[in-house]
Amino acid sequence: MPASAASIPGGAQQFCGSQICLYYHSSEQGAQWVANDAEWGDLSGQTFNAQGNFGNVWDGYGQAIRNNAASVANGGYDTVYVYVYRAVDGWGPYDSVGAGGYGNLVNTWNNEASYSIYNHG
């Protein structure tokens, strides 16, 4: 794994029924944003638009996702890569979370711009 990559081990989670759930706070807390697309090359303009699952469930609701997410959950069947840059800017450093995994972002904590199920690193 490149130095600019971090793997989020997580575990068997039961609260993200989508390919990806991004959370406003660490430990999957606060408002969330969910998507089932294989790839989202630019999160600009997207907001935390759903009630979260745990503590402070509305914190961050309506806030921009880009550069504001602290944790991630993967409810899909593919590894998800969360990237620092937009696709047009070359993706860049990333965090990866395997199917069923969840945890706090490391390289992309409050510094994410895109995600993909494809490793562009």
pLDDT value at residue 11: 58
Task: Say which range, 6-20, 44-58, 79-93, has the weakest mean pLDDT.
Answer: 6-20
pLDDT value at residue 6: 74
pLDDT value at residue 105: 97
| Domain of residue 96, residue span | 1-121
CATH of residue 97's domain is: 2.60.20.10
- Residues 6+ positions from 116 with CB-CB distance below 8 Å: 38, 39, 40, 41, 80, 81, 83, 87, 91
What percent of the chain shows pLDDT beyond 70? 91
Contact 39, 76 (CB under 8 A): no
What's this model's pTM, rounded to 2 decimal places? 0.90
Q: Would the pLDDT of 2 be above 90?
A: no
Residue 85 tokens, joined: 């840059």
- Over residues 21-26, the mean pLDDT reads 95
How many structural domains compose the chain?
1
Contact 49, 78 (CB under 8 A): no
